Structure 1
Amino acid sequence: MKPLDYIEMKLPAKPEYVGVLRLTLSGIASRMGFSYDAIEDLKIAASEAVTNAVQHAYSNKETGEVEIGFGLYRDRLEVMVTDHGQSFNFQETQSGVGPYKEDSLEFLREGGLGLYLIETLMDEVEIHHEEGVTVFMTKYLEGEQVEIDVKTLST
């Protein structure tokens, strides 16, 4: 299904531009009717995805951009964050994320917690890593996902 509207932006892969993403996302989600809590979840998850790209995609010698796309649908907001830097193996990284142990704190600081937060705060998450990394995140408007699940179960 085609989005009602699609918004795209490119940001320099620098930490000082993460705030621009947060403000843009907040405005879009607010206009769509998301609750305050859902908007905060969206901002945290998208910020984690962009921060991961800023920190890990480009080496110190490289400069790059992070591309962010927003697909606005009647029942949901899809956010796509893409970089064209160094790829990582999501399955390998995800397998290292587990229950908190004191000796795993350093791993969590290095990105494991970011992936965990994104998966916890969003309704659907897909990560593709070909040339760079693309994170697809979906957040449904209140009640929409439940209705979809109920319809699926009753058929």
Structure 2
Amino acid sequence: MEPFDFIEMKVPAKAEYVGVIRLSTSGIANRMGFSYEEIEDLKVAVSEAMSNATEHAYENKDGGEVTIGFGLYQDRLEVMVADRGGSFDLKKVKKELGPFVNNESIEDLREGGFGLFLIEALMDKVEIKNDYGVIVLMTKYLHENEVDINDDQITTSQ
């Protein structure tokens, strides 16, 4: 199934652009109807993936770029973070992705791999492609029937 919208952003592989992507993630997720808690989870997961990508891109060369793709579907948001510029060929990337498995040496992917564990805990599905550079695809499902409940909890707990 094709996304009804696909947004692609390219930023310099510098830590100061993580905030820009956080804001974009928040805006897109809010527009789709995600709850406050889900948006916070998305922002943290995307920040982790972005931070990892900026560190990784710098190891290879100065002036690297990070590409972020947002696939907006009826029932979910897919966020792709690639640490090697370029544009996404969505079908090709998704065909080559595999699930995040804890048996690869995670240290080779990222320092300590803690970011990936955090991303996996916050998102519904995490897939990784790491043959040339690293692409992380994170999926968060939209649970429309829970939005009202979460909204009520937010207003009563503040």
Instruction: With the length of structure 2 as denominator, give the TM-score of the two structures.
Output: 0.74
Q: Percent identity?
A: 65
- Alignment correspondent of 2:120: 119
In structure 1, the gaps of 5 or more residues are 96-106, 145-155
2:53 match: 53
Contact 1:94-1:115 at 8 Å conserved across structures: no
Paired position in structure 1 for 2:6: 6
TM value normalised by structure 1:
0.75
The one-letter amino acid paired with 1:43 is K
| Aligned counterpart, 2:73 | 73
- Residue 28 of structure 2 is aligned to residue 28 of structure 1: yes
- 1:108-130 Cα offsets, whole Å, 9 max, x none, are xx442211100000000001012
- Asked if structure 2 preserves the Cα contact closer than 8 Å seen for 1:33 and 1:141, the reply is yes
Q: Aligned in 2, Cα 1:111/1:26: closer, same or farther, shift over 3 Å?
A: farther
Q: How many residues align?
A: 127
Cα deviation for residue 57 of structure 1 reads 2.5
Provide the aligned C-alpha RMSD in A.
2.3
SS at match of 1:51: helix
Name the aligned partner's letter for residue 50 of structure 2: V
Gaps of 5+ in 2: 86-101, 146-158
**Quick one: which amino acid aligns to residue 114 of structure 2?**
L
Alignment partners' CA distance in 2, 1:111 and 1:11:
25
Which runs of structure 2 are paired with 1:144-155 in the superposition (5 Å)? none
Cα 1:61/1:76, change in 2 over 3 Å: closer
Following superposition of structure 1 onto structure 2, how do residues 67-106 of structure 1 map, counting pairs within 5 Å?
67-84=67-84, 91-93=104-106
- CA-CA distance at 1:22 after TM superposition: 0.4
